[in-house]
Structure 1
């Protein structure tokens, strides 16, 4: 099997085995020029769980379009295009090695054209086609004695190996004053909940992270019987622990004054949640004296309802890209 490599780093050889994934036959090839289209596309085929098509440029791909800046004039150009990418995640990338083929009718072989050295090409939303602008000179391709165009019929093919892209990509950003940065928790029938050691709010999500508020109505630990204890707790703590990830938050915990909001009781906190050993909650054991909280004149507990809030000022956001 003779192998030749061009100056442009393209490896060419002939083999008996047909392409594994797709063959694209064109009859009446000479009539393609009459359509006025410089590019002719095959139907869609599937390989390596992706969808593709072949793109043939019968008179060559123009210089400004060509991959290596060469002019495809005087040559036939052949490209592989990835398609049906609208369901891919934002910032998608597909890495692939591929071979393109031209059938030789005379020798009953397939001219195999590929990047030398097994080069991997990166398909992405701004670059969906890769191929060879100078696949074959038209003088060679059009000569029936060479076997590529016989009875005005030719056939092209493709064989693709998608390289597993196992790289996990993660972006960390610090969000200041995130949107919808305040969560309000109304606790009705608060008197009936004083017998419970602690109570939780519903879970809520801010910038992709899930949280809940935790309150000890009669205080926790050394604050028991004297103070209300108030904490912010990460509902993603198990995921943070698995990934050994730390989630920074700067926030205010607040008990709302229902008579005068200027008298709200609030305390600021900063914490790195997660890590190892994991920090799952952060707040205050001695948040507010019970005798102040339970005084109707103070305005914090009205109609047996307590209103608590958390307001985020800064928050770490993790996202994939």
Structure 2
């Protein structure tokens, strides 16, 4: 075994496990004018790859210089469906067939080094696979009758390309933090058990699809005595989160605006709230006894003016999940 500059070279009888790429009329590649020649796509370890051959060496790069050598690289392909920030950690060996000895020259990183393929680095290999003088000398067996063969063997050590990566952020005083719900013709809605606001989001977070939920004549034990007001997290969002068994956080104020004296709004601070996911899911959080109906209906109190009720939710802090 020859080990130089962090690269190990040895010969073995067993062919590469995953792919062999034969090239006939190798000398005619010069006439194409192409620096690089690629194999077809092959599959190994549930990923798709191709070999890239540089007959005159890969031009000088930050990590090496293939001048005077034949260069051979492994490239991962079809990564468009991988999640943002994907990585695939790989040990690999590249091969050149020796026709004279009927063996395979195996070229690999010394010490079993693991290479990290990612969206900014999709190709790894050896710019100085073999010197051109060694490769082209027929007595060495690598180029015989103008024919050569290369190969690849791949072991994926860890795979972040099929794993979702997620970041939890706590956002204080989010942008567009106040949602205002104006309910016209409120008296006509008093006979309804429950009414909902339109959906709204906070910070554009995927899970933050919410509605305000109001019981005009009260809910449960508050019925006929108090108006009930809750923040409601859409059940579709909860079902999307079940696989993550996560809990979601929000701190907010629920408010009924005083339309005569803004300093006398009727509001409650909802303390830190977690929305559980799964069988114990809590999709609503607020107050059944939010405001007495007597207070609401009083013309002098200023909460119901021209049969219009104004309800607000002001968010102080929310949790956000994002891919990275």
TM-score bracket, normalised by the shorter chain, equals: 0.7 to 0.9
How far is the alpha carbon of 1:308 from its aligned partner?
2.5
Aligned to 2:41: 45
Aligned to 2:169: 173
CA RMSD of aligned residues (A): 3.4
Q: Alignment partner of 1:6: what SS?
A: strand
2:84 to 71, 75, 90: 90
Q: Distance in 2 between matches of 1:156 and 1:240?
A: 47
Question: Aligned pair in 2 of structure 1 residues 89, 263: CA closer, same or farther (>3 Å)?
Answer: same
1:1-321 matched pairs, under 5 angstroms: 4=1, 6-7=3-4, 8-17=6-15, 19-21=17-19, 23-33=20-30, 37=34, 39-48=35-44, 49-62=46-59, 64-66=61-63, 69=64, 71-116=65-110, 118-163=112-157, 165=159, 168-187=164-183, 190-191=186-187, 193-195=189-191, 197-206=193-202, 207-209=205-207, 210-220=209-219, 223-235=222-234, 236-237=237-238, 243-257=244-258, 264-275=265-276, 279-296=282-299, 298-302=301-305, 304-321=307-324
- Secondary structure in structure 2 of the residue aligned to 1:141: helix
Judge conservation of contact 1:273–1:280 (CA < 8 Å) in 2.
Answer: no
TM-score when normalising by structure 2: 0.78
CA contact (8 A) 2:22 2:148 kept: yes
- Unaligned stretches of 5+ residues in structure 1: none
Residues 272 and 279, structure 1, Cα contact 8 Å, conserved in 2: no
CA distance 1:202–1:44, change in 2 (3 Å): farther
CA distance in 2: counterparts of 1:91 and 1:242, whole angstroms: 21
Whether the 8 Å CA contact 1:16–1:108 is kept in 2: the answer is no
Provide the secondary structure at the position in 2 that maps to 1:292.
helix
CA distance in 1, matches of 2:62, 2:148: 24
The whole-number CA distance in structure 2 between the counterparts of 1:35 and 1:240 is 54
CA distance in 2, matches of 1:291, 1:179: 35
